[in-house]
Amino acid sequence: MTDRVERVASSLLGSAPSKTPSVRALSSYASHSDCATASLAFAARADLDRMCTGTDYESPIGQDPQAFQRGQTFEAMLKGNGYGALLDLLREEASFPPTAVRIEDLRTRYPRGTGGLKLRARETRRLLQAIANGEDEAPNLIDGAVITGNVAGEVAYYEADSLAAIAGGKLHVGEIKSFAYTDGRCDPEKFGAACDQAAWYILLCRRALQDMGLDPHVVSDEAFIILPVGVGLTPTLLRQNIAGKIRRAQTLLETAPDPAELLALHGPDLQFPGKELDPQARLDVLERLLDAVGTTYRPDSCLRDCGLAQLCRARAHDRSLPQLCGSQVLRNLPGVGTLGRAAELAAGAAPGIGEDHAARALRQASTVYDRVLAGGAL
Amino acid sequence: MLAARAHLDGRALRTAQLRHRALASEPFGIVAWQLGAEPYTIAALGAGTRAGGYELHVPGFPLNRDLLFAATLVFAEQFCTWFESVAAGPGQETTHFGGSLHVPDELPQILVANVETIGLLGRLGRRLAYLPTDGDRPADPLLPRLGRHLMWIADYAQTPGQQLIVAATDLLASHWQTAMSTYELGSLAALDAWVDPPAGTHAFHAAARAERFPVGPRPEHGEGDEAQQLMQAFNAARAGSVDPGVVTTLLGPLRTFYDGLVAGTWELMWLAAERERAWPEAPSVERRAREDRIAYAAHVAWMDGPVQGRRRARRTPRAAALRLGELEAAQSMCVAEEAIDDPLRMTPVLLAGKALAGEIIACEADRRERINNRNLKRPRVTLQTDEPCVMPIGKGLWWTRAAGEKEWTVERIAPMETGGSTIALVLQTNRQLSAGLPVVGERACFSELNTRDSHSLYLPSAAPWTHRPADSSFADPSTDIEHTDTENEEAA
Amino acid sequence: MTHFDQTVIDAADTIARAVREDFMGIADEGAVTLTAIAGAGKSTFVRDTVNTCTSAGMRVAVAAPTNEQVFSLVASIADSDPAQAVAYVPAQRVELPAWAQRPNVQIVRPAHQAGNATVVVGTIDKLAAARNPRNSGVPKLGTFDALIMDESYQASAGRYYAVADIAPRHLCVGDGGQIHPFTTVEAGMQWRGLGEDPLQTAVGVLRANHPETPLHRFPITRRLDSRGAHIARCFYPSDHVFGAAVADGVRQMMLGSMVAPTARDRALDHALDLATERGWAHLELPARQVLTCDPDTAEAIVDLLIRLRGRNARLVCERQRTPAPLEFARVAVGVAHNDQKDLMRALLDAVGLTTVVVDTANRLQGLEFDICICWHPLAGLDEADEFHLEAGRMCVLCTRHRHACIVVGRAGDREVVETLPPSTPAWPGIDADMILNGWDAHRGVFAGLEQVRVAL
């Protein structure tokens, strides 16, 4: 980031809750990249999930302690005893060498905090270089890599939860997740999200290699997704080619709005609400910001994982927006601005410009519906 | 259109004039809670009839197999007794796959809050169904028995239009239009608020409040934190003991906690179901209920057969293909039956141009035409619709009152100045329809939908070489997933 | 003037020989698969392979998913060797149309009586029912030495199961870019990625269970010329290399002149002229979100066809070397939805264009026309869903024509796939992501049509 952008970003953030860049955050932002507020928050590193805390719009999103513990336990089990269980799995499924495996655990080696991140980023770069050059001392496994990524003009250190496993001269990104894999099946949404995260890691690694003038294709399209089988925590490794998802990540990077422009667009007065404000004051600031910046509310994706979704929903309701009903209803109301207007058109109001198609269908639906209700027949 | 009206009216609107799901006189209700991310365990189960109230089953620390199975065993006794007793009740003998089958008159119906609960019961079933009842950790035979019932029920639940297990969310969502998105329709509390909002409150606000009400089975509203604390206290107090004498007395706080959760969902679920009961039942519901009773009877017979209800955890290619055929046939039949029974259900079909409805202005019962040099009777009706019709000439349509018989084809369409059309339809048989012919002056509806038997797939029982893996290691994959449960206890 | 690109044809011949060699070399049970792009001359290949088999003394069953496909196979196989009797087993209530009847075609009813025939042809379902009758009292159709299946990417594993035991040797030919087997029941998707999935393709189940099955790729298209092949590449993996058999400039369309009094007429003319020169045109109505059955788009297509009729199009190609008038029965309008089809049919009938074929992409699979008008599946949508994005659907619509294809949509359509694709679900064992592939294919097509865009 340039100094000026950095200044605007930090003035925008003010004392609002913030979050550190991570591959996970990047991946989840990708589902909301068409929302101007989400983009701005991403640029300013504001944590939208904590913006509405204490208000009526606080969303119930948050990790369940049991779910968290299960994830921790599974990961600890894989990495315990010098990564014993994980290495066994990699030997079985990814032809890892039986002996002399070089493991680089960057997470425990360096201190927490920004200083540690920088050191880890430097070390990650060095290791990637060794892998790309096929050096003898290249590692077989990297845990806790930090990749310096330039996302939409913004340079940041992206901490990866995932592993990098080097098999057959190729670097494979490994995601450890604790949802169950039974009878050859697992939750497609969760599996898709795990693959998406791996795709971001792969993309960042490739760009890092490219920046160093090295061959980006040393990073494989094939991700390793590691899941527990059945009831317990016995791990399995699934190999999945995620080329399509990597291309998607690439598209986002290419099309993402430049945060400098985004920030410049909104004057210096704009600010995310500080966490010290009382809930009502915070909402007032937030509403002003939403009015100025604009949002894209899509219930089926926003309500899943955005902390502002409940507020956006209430605003959509107040404005009677068709978005409230989700994409299926929306598709049937092309050109119609509000649900209220849709009801008027259904009742026979004269359609305005762009409304005639939907109006005809609405009017007809309304006539038939009322005829059935009145006469009991079509 | 209805969504817009619902938004304006501040409450949900009916999408059906009838009730398209059976509601047994006394369904068996199940409310379930799980831990945050333990897909194969239950944290609490409330089960029973509405009149008798629920019995609460709480393992305490579900990650402990002994505790989980002990609580599940009590539920198994309760459930299996009820579920299996129906099969022995009065009924009729029919032939089924060549054998004789006793089909009970009563439908053993289970009511749950939402589709997720069915999923959880299915996973619990999957875990229990293959438990070894011998060896060094023998399970009570009732557990695999429960497992096999639950696994079968959860699989059968995917059949479109089935009524053996009814999720209240489905019951409401399939009969009401709200102004919510698909995602939000998963919440029973929010749906209920749309259907019956408090006086003077817009359903949107009622639903936004209601949605914070925990319904289960996943702890999504912070109840996981409290459960965790109580569980830790319980574990500390029992100090590793699984002795019922010790554990039962320590369970108090957890039982109270889950009792509160289960009671809320229990009330809500019955409220929703009983409100729907007031709507008149659609005529075709009985046919589908009979299918359900036959399927149930066949399942119970299989349970009592030589393999005691054991099924593969994964279907063979043949079984999967046949099941897909069944699902598709059930879906098209259910869609057709609902629309044919209920004009409000036919409305979207009509609006999509797949049906036409209007007043019969002429009926030529004795009309004849030459077909293959024979002069055959082919009755023709002419009707006037209010809406314009753009169907292609020659299209086949079924009269809603004879949707299981021969079709009519569109012979002629003439637009009218009023915006509607005059349409002539010719019946494709000389045989009398069971409902006679449409009467001049009455309104009639003809649609693409019919209730004739669809072509069903027939597959030889031996798999051809193409569908058998060359590497036959995947013959019957390991079915007991319990052996994978090695780390949980220590980890927790 | 040479009419063909000999290198492309030679390359295709080499592959054809290799496939036949592999196929004839199957000792016990086994299969060979051949993936081809649209209009690769699969039917010719099937016909020739049938002859190879019969010459070697083998008895052959030939199958395809639909009746129409089977009619073409029957005619083509019967023509190739008038001395060879071809047994056709029709499905119930299906008659072999007059155009497919030949003296050496025997219609066999009931089907099991075809048991002694050297060559039997039928739909997959019909041959399956004859081979494995539901009613045990009905005699079974015997086995053959080989099964040759056309359009095997359209055949689901479930249907394939029923016919697979008809022969120990299988040759599965098909086009992997078209619409794959699908179901409208959500629960029908539960087997995705598993070996038992009845909705995977016949080729898919073969490859899953017998990974050593040879997979050949046909490097040719005979229907499309190089202009058409250029866009068709958007729908196939980049390592599936193919070229057009017909040489550049052989396919020619000539349009007469006609007064164009209005701007609309001029725009339509411009689109027709581009289609004539480049083989493609992309006619765009103003950006607007509309319902799928958009009357304006339908009207634009009708006007375009009226204009085409008015300009007396004449065609020249490798088969017809002197200009001959375009027959409207050789013109298709391809759509995504049935309501669009009904509307188009009504409008075209009203202006006397009754012979123009109108159908949904599903039903146009395997058919060939001189001109195809494609109602863009994304036309007027504000958000793309899986159905409309499916690469296979667009592939069918963009690969039916020998001379020209005119895509009709709205100006905003491109933006739908220019935004970021959604995060998509994934299934272990399935590497291809249908939604993202659709996204990429549509982008590629829009980019490929960049130069031939006309605003209406």
Whether residue C165 and residue B464 make contact (CB cut-off 8 A), yes or no, is yes
DSSP-derived letter for residue A181 is: B
pLDDT bucket at A42, cuts 50 / 70 / 90: confident
User: What is the tens place of the pLDDT at every residue in B131-176?
Assistant: 999 888 899 999 999 999 999 999 999 999 999 999 999 999 999 9
Window 169-198 of A: residues touching C by CB (8 A cutoff) are 181, 184-186, 188-189, 191-196
Whether residue B458 and residue C134 make contact (CB cut-off 8 A), yes or no, is yes
Please name the member of C162, C205, C338 whose beta carbon is closest to the beta carbon of B457: C162
**What pLDDT score was predicted for residue B486?**
41
Window 49-78 of A: residues touching C by CB (8 A cutoff) are none
**Number of C-beta neighbours around residue A218 at 10 A:** 18
pLDDT bucket at B482, cuts 50 / 70 / 90: low
**Number of C-beta neighbours around residue B21 at 10 A:** 22
Question: Which residue is closest to A332 within chain C, CA to CA?
Answer: C291
**What pLDDT score was predicted for residue B237?**
95
Please tell me if residue A356 touches chain C, with a CB cutoff of 8 Å: no
Judge whether residue A294 has pLDDT over 80: yes
Chains that touch C (3 or more CB pairs under 8 A): A, B
Interface test with B, best of A73, A75, A320, A378 (most B CBs within 10 A): A378
pLDDT bucket at A53, cuts 50 / 70 / 90: confident
User: What is the tens place of the pLDDT at every residue in B50-101?
Assistant: 999 999 999 999 999 999 999 999 999 999 999 999 999 999 999 888 889 9
Please tell me if residue A23 touches chain C, with a CB cutoff of 8 Å: no
Question: Which residue is closest to A231 within chain B, CA to CA?
Answer: B485
Please tell me if residue B402 touches chain A, with a CB cutoff of 8 Å: no
User: What is the tens place of the pLDDT at every residue in B323-353?
Assistant: 999 999 999 999 999 999 999 999 999 999 9
Window 283-302 of A: residues touching C by CB (8 A cutoff) are 301
Whether residue C158 and residue B321 make contact (CB cut-off 8 A), yes or no, is yes
Q: Residue written as tokens 């519906």?
A: A369
**What pLDDT score was predicted for residue C297?**
96
pLDDT bucket at C131, cuts 50 / 70 / 90: very high
pLDDT bucket at B117, cuts 50 / 70 / 90: very high
Judge whether residue C321 has pLDDT over 80: yes
Whether residue B182 and residue A333 make contact (CB cut-off 8 A), yes or no, is no
Judge whether residue B487 has pLDDT over 70: no
CA distance B431 to chain A (A): 27
CA distance B435 to chain A (A): 17
**Number of C-beta neighbours around residue C161 at 10 A:** 27
DSSP-derived letter for residue A317 is: H
Torsion, CA B384, CA B389, CA B394, CA B396, rounded to 10: -80
Mean pLDDT confidence for B219-245: 92
Q: Which helix (H) or strand (E) covers residue C172, if one does?
A: strand C169-174
Mean pLDDT confidence for A307-323: 94
Chains that touch A (3 or more CB pairs under 8 A): B, C
Please tell me if residue C243 touches chain B, with a CB cutoff of 8 Å: no
pLDDT bucket at C428, cuts 50 / 70 / 90: very high
Mean pLDDT confidence for A297-323: 92
Please tell me if residue C214 touches chain B, with a CB cutoff of 8 Å: no
Whether residue C426 and residue A195 make contact (CB cut-off 8 A), yes or no, is yes
- How would you classify residue A226: left for phi > 0, otherwise alpha for psi between -120 and 50, otherwise beta? beta
- Mutual angle of helices C263-278 and C295-310, in 10-degree steps: 70
Percent of chain B's residues with pLDDT above 90: 77
CA distance B44 to chain A (A): 15
**Number of C-beta neighbours around residue A328 at 10 A:** 12
pLDDT bucket at C392, cuts 50 / 70 / 90: very high
Mean pLDDT confidence for B262-275: 97
**What pLDDT score was predicted for residue B458?**
87
User: What is the tens place of the pLDDT at every residue in C193-212?
Assistant: 999 999 999 999 999 899 99
For residue B348, give Cα distances in angstroms to A370, B179, B265, B360: 13, 17, 33, 21
User: What is the tens place of the pLDDT at every residue in C145-177?
Assistant: 999 999 999 999 999 999 999 999 999 999 999
Mean pLDDT confidence for C101-129: 93
Q: Is C248 exposed, middle or buried (0-12, 13-18, 19+ CB in 10 A)?
A: exposed
CB pairs under 8 A between A and C: 94
Alpha-carbon radius of gyration of chain B: 27
Please tell me if residue B126 touches chain A, with a CB cutoff of 8 Å: yes
Whether residue C427 and residue A191 make contact (CB cut-off 8 A), yes or no, is yes
User: What is the tens place of the pLDDT at every residue in A204-246?
Assistant: 999 999 999 999 999 999 999 999 998 888 999 999 999 999 9
According to DSSP, the residues that pair with C254 across neighbouring strands are C314
**What pLDDT score was predicted for residue A4?**
64
Please name the member of B331, B458, B465 whose beta carbon is closest to the beta carbon of C162: B458
pLDDT bucket at B488, cuts 50 / 70 / 90: very low
Please name the member of B160, B458, B474 whose beta carbon is closest to the beta carbon of C195: B474
Whether residue C431 and residue A189 make contact (CB cut-off 8 A), yes or no, is no
Interface test with B, best of A66, A79, A191, A306 (most B CBs within 10 A): A66
**Number of C-beta neighbours around residue C266 at 10 A:** 12
Q: Which of A47-61, A68-82, C189-203, C238-252 has the lowest mean pLDDT?
A: A47-61
User: What is the tens place of the pLDDT at every residue in B400-451?
Assistant: 999 999 999 999 999 898 889 999 999 999 888 888 999 999 999 999 999 9
Please tell me if residue A248 touches chain C, with a CB cutoff of 8 Å: yes
Judge whether residue B489 has pLDDT over 70: no
Judge whether residue A30 has pLDDT over 90: no
Whether residue A325 and residue B443 make contact (CB cut-off 8 A), yes or no, is no
Q: Which helix (H) or strand (E) covers residue C432, if one does?
A: none
**What pLDDT score was predicted for residue B491?**
35
For residue B275, give Cα distances in angstroms to A330, B48, B171: 30, 19, 11
Ramachandran angles phi, psi of A218, nearest 5°: -70, -20
pLDDT bucket at C1, cuts 50 / 70 / 90: low
**What pLDDT score was predicted for residue C242?**
93
**What pLDDT score was predicted for residue C421?**
86
CA distance C382 to chain A (A): 7
Nearest to C260 by CA among C328, C325, C306, C327: C306
**What pLDDT score was predicted for residue A262?**
73
Whether the bond between C110 and the residue before it is cis, its omega within 30 degrees of 0, is yes
Judge whether residue C85 has pLDDT over 80: yes
Judge whether residue A298 has pLDDT over 50: yes
Q: Which residues of A touch B228 (CB under 8 A)?
A: 65-66
Whether residue C345 and residue B392 make contact (CB cut-off 8 A), yes or no, is yes
Whether residue B443 and residue A317 make contact (CB cut-off 8 A), yes or no, is no
**What pLDDT score was predicted for residue A27?**
80
